[in-house]
Amino acid sequence: MNNLRTTSHRALFPAPGHLASLGLWLILLTGCAVGPDFVRPEAPAVSTYERQGPPRPGTYSDGATPRFDVGVGPSANWWRSFSSKQIDSVVTIGLADNPGLQAAQASLRQSREILGAGAGIFYPQLSATFGQSRGNISSASTGSPRTGSIFNLSTLSASVSYTLDIFGGQRRTVEGLGAQVDQQRAVTLGTYMMLSGNIVNTCIAIAAYQEEVDEIGQLIAIEKEQLSIAEKQYQSGLTNYGPVLAMQGQLESLEATLPPVRQQLSQAEHLLATLVGKTPAEWQTPEIRMSGISLPERMPLSLPSGLVRQRPDILAAEAQLHAANAAIGVATAAMFPSFTLTGSYGRSSTILKELLDGKNSVWGVGANVAEPLFNGGTLNARRRAAIDARDQARALYRQTVLAAFAQVADIIRALEHDEELLQTEKRAVKDTRLALDLVLANYRAGLVSYVQVILADIQHRQARIGLLQAQARQLQDAAALHVALGGGWQNDPEAKKRAGLE
């Protein structure tokens, strides 16, 4: 390429006998594009997400622990693995009506049109004009003693120009536009995946909050009944007022826990309305129960080499790296000469009806060469800046991959710890149930006071609420794993269409 910069003008404009050689030379050069070609980054040389290897199946006797299918990615409609018709219905509505997803899809369409507009540079630019004017020529401007004359002028012409992309600057520009399309495609996919994940998580939260409200409400009803009994016992002189006051304090403390949970439930319902593209006044949340949501028996676990080819944020970072790499070629091509071919043909006449007469034809052909000679180091600085931008994009890509791998590793361990917590909460529910039954038996035998019954009942209800929260956390972490793995969109044309990728 250095030889091109020192080629003499005589070589650039050869004698007519060498025009054939010049044409061949230009054709050969047209296949060259300066700047580095983009090479897709390799996946990290690891086969697992953690040093201790892939997670092992659980060993609990109830078989509740999900098994991980190593090397298997999520399905496109992964939320259906939770076996909830209500969740499936809400996700379908959200994917159709969410304005955030619609905005991302519109941006993707826009980037495709911009790419199409940029690719037009590879074709000759043809234009046609027709004009009519009326004017006067001053005799003084020509030194003639005759008076000026008024005339009409009609012009019909066509012109064509073509830029020879000898050094590939235009191709690198279009390559960068294509990378921007890939980036917006990944952003749209990420919006699609996050939307589906947020809808599933919100539905699980609503189900958990609703059942927690029900549990607290049942406990309040029981304590009110017990308080009524204690007041009657006090009025009958069977006990003093101390137990009554204790029960009232317990009841008031319990009632104070209900408004915050109801507020969380309302916020979750309002969030779900927003996710499906509705106002809270327009949206009626379907009845979702925890008993109607099942933990998937088998959990996907894509290999690290697969994750970098399907996770949206990694694909977006890769597209940014591609665009930055193409920008180096654009900056490099700007340092070389540019070549443009032009041609025009038309008719011009002062009499409109004679406009198409051959004697009034005008034409012209030309070739332009522009060579940057001195610019104070601007072009070199722009090229170095483009290289630095590429290096930055490469580092950001690597950072994105590292963060993605860490997130998947976190969720894998979270699911294991969720199962440990779930088993502990189940034992707590069982133990507090046995303790409550024992206290009730002793109370009926007159061996303990009613306050002890209330305390045992509260402990049992709290254990049930703890179990409910552990179940919800496990379900949400299972949904998070599907989203963190990027979903199975790449193998499902219908999912691509629904996401607006096709």
pLDDT in tens, 353-410: 777 777 878 888 888 888 888 888 999 999 999 999 999 999 999 999 999 999 999 9
Residues 6+ apart with CB under 8 A from 100: 191, 195
Cα 480 from chain centroid (whole Å):
15
Cα dihedral 208, 210, 212, 218, rounded to 10, equals -150
Is pLDDT above 50 for 442?
A: yes
Architecture in CATH of 37-125+166-337+377-499: Up-down Bundle (1.20)
Residue spans of the domains in the chain: they are: 1-30, 37-125+166-337+377-499
What sign does the dihedral 456-460-465-467 (CA atoms) show? positive
* Cβ atoms of residues 306 and 407 within 8 Å: no
What is the tens place of the pLDDT at every residue in 122-145?
888 888 888 888 777 666 555 555
Task: Report the pLDDT averaged over residues 282-296.
Answer: 93
Distance from first CA to last CA of the chain, Å, rounded? 40
What CA–CA distance (Å, rounded) separates 415 from 480?
10
Q: Structure tokens of 221?
A: 């009803």
Supply φ then ψ for residue 270, to 5 degrees. -65, -40
pLDDT at position 262: 95
- 445, with CB counted inside 10 A (0-12, 13-18, 19+), is exposed
- Residue from 296, 299, 300, 284 nearest 86 by CA: 284
- The pTM of the full predicted model, rounded to 2 decimals, is 0.83
What is the tens place of the pLDDT at every residue in 148-186?
577 788 888 888 888 888 888 899 999 999 999 999 999
Q: Which residue has the tokens 């594009």?
A: 33
**H or E element that contains 160:** strand 149-164
What is the tens place of the pLDDT at every residue in 59-77?
443 445 567 888 888 888 8
Q: Structure tokens of 437?
A: 């039954």
Angle value at C-alpha 105, between 104 and 111, nearest 5 degrees: 90
What is the tens place of the pLDDT at every residue in 254-274?
889 899 999 999 999 999 999
pLDDT at position 54: 66
pLDDT at position 8: 36
Local confidence band at 6 (pLDDT 50, 70, 90 cut-offs): very low
Single-letter residue type at 105: Q
- Residue from 432, 345, 338 nearest 379 by CA: 338
Task: Report the pLDDT averaged over residues 434-462.
Answer: 85
Is pLDDT above 60 for 23?
A: no
Q: Structure tokens of 24?
A: 């061949």
pLDDT at position 27: 44
How big is the chain, counted in residues?
502
Q: Which residue has the higher pLDDT, 86 or 144?
A: 86
